[in-house]
Amino acid sequence: FFFFDSFVIFPLDAVSVAMAEIRIAEEDDHLELTVRDLDSPDLEKSASAPSLASGEIVPLLSQNQRPRFNIFSPSYARRKPREQVIRVSETEISPVIQFSSWVWSGSRYSGLLCMALSSTLYLFMELLSVSFSVQPIPLFETAFLRCTIILILSYICLKRIGQPVFGPAHARKLLISRALVGYLSLFSFIFSIQMLPLSQAIVLSFVNPVMASIAARVILHEKLKITDIGGLACSFFGVLFIFGPTLTVQVGSEVKSENLKGNHHIYALLLGLFSSITGGVSYCLIKAAAKASEQPVNTVLSFGLVACPAAAICMFSLESFVLPAFETLICMIVLGLLAFCAEVLLARGLQLEKISKAANVLYIEVVLSQLWILGTGKAGSSGLFSRLVGCLLVLMSVSYTIYTGPAKDTE
């Protein structure tokens, strides 16, 4: 069997206005030429097929019919246009965006990864502020500028993704509570760091994960396992080993702020402890508000709405304003950008992960800072062994938390 795709008929001569017919006479061996007019009715009756236009090629198969294929015709799989668009879009996405998307929600370890990246950004902020400290700026002025940048960036981010700026109606009470408690923690920490030695203030700030786990058990009714308690205790003892040589109690002699010289050392310690307690409660409220609003950026915006005007009031009422130089202003803006990213990652990590596990990962900041100090040769010979022991304890605790993976029940 043979299959033919199409046949074409070519006209003899469609240019002339008359049709010539050649006949061969059988009797007489001569030719007879008969000329007929194209408009004659006899020709119309005798013609069974339609007349052809000048120079036109008429296929036997109409164009709307699908061509037939035989076993000899090569067959190729046709790709859908949607698959082509998806493949092109995948090739255009940069690896940085793919990694960010994977960290944000593409892995079962996304909560722990967000907490680890948040701690790394906080460490980078600390190193940047120490390395490029050109001009001393009051703490409330620094907090005001940082909160302003956080407020602006969170507003822009929510507008771009089309989310309500103030969050859904059922989550606004949680957002307001998170903002108030968070600023109380920040306010008390700024006062405590002005009155206490730096090592004591740092140790008190790392009580936050312990307080957050206790508050999560009381407020959010999270299950606190023995392994979680052991991991937090191991990390906190590691911090004590690291800052143990410099952790001394001094009353009155190391007061840092001239305006607060009359306060006693015990009040500063209580204020630092209050900052840790409110910070732990703030972690619980961040988790609850982020899950209720389904957007971690809403928690950052609510904090900026409260902290920005409150820091401005404290800046003008409790401190003297210092106009920053250009280099200092650039450094403060960069620190504000990093603080926004760190706050968003912190809120995302608390949203996805159990608080006791997520808070334990925050201790990795201490290990990274000590490794940086040891690597740059800034660490003295005194207390080196205790620092190494403390780093080892924290690494063991954080590694075990990551190894066991995220909690199955994070509600």
Give percent of the chain above pLDDT 70. 71
The reply to whether 15 falls in a domain is: no
- Interval 238-275: pLDDT, tens: 998 888 777 654 444 444 444 444 456 788 888 889 99
| Whole-angstrom distance, CA of residue 16 vs CA of residue 195 | 113
The reply to whether 345 falls in a domain is: yes
The reply to whether 50 falls in a domain is: no
Task: Kindly give, in sequence order, each residue whose CB lies less than 8 Å from that of residue 203, ignoring residues fewer than 6 positions away.
Answer: 239, 240, 243, 247
pLDDT of 154 > 90? The answer is yes
- Interval 22-58: pLDDT, tens: 444 444 455 555 555 555 555 454 544 444 444 555 5
Enumerate helices (H) and strands (E) in the chain, giving the number of each: 15, 4
The reply to whether 390 falls in a domain is: yes
**Phi, psi of 376, rounded to the nearest 5 degrees:** -85, -5
Tokens of 209: 């994960």
The reply to whether 43 falls in a domain is: no
Residues spanned by the domain of 136: 91-404
The reply to whether 115 falls in a domain is: yes
The DSSP H or E segment spanning 172 is: helix 172-195
Task: Kindly give, in sequence order, each residue whose CB lies less than 8 Å from that of residue 148, ignoring residues fewer than 6 positions away.
Answer: 304, 308, 336
So what's the pLDDT on residue 174?
A: 92
Q: 107 has which bridge partners?
A: none
- Interval 163-220: pLDDT, tens: 888 888 888 999 999 999 999 999 999 888 888 887 788 888 889 999 999 999 999 9
What pTM was computed for the model?
Answer: 0.72
| Count of domains observed in the chain | 1
- Interval 9-27: pLDDT, tens: 444 444 444 444 444 444 4
**Phi, psi of 254, rounded to the nearest 5 degrees:** -115, 35
- Burial group, residue 48, by CB count within 10 angstroms (0-12, 13-18, 19+): exposed
| Whole-angstrom distance, CA of residue 353 vs CA of residue 342 | 16
Give percent of the chain above pLDDT 90. 34
pLDDT of 96 > 90? The answer is no
The reply to whether 22 falls in a domain is: no
So what's the pLDDT on residue 378?
A: 73
The reply to whether 210 falls in a domain is: yes
| Average pLDDT in the chain | 77
The DSSP H or E segment spanning 18 is: strand 18-24
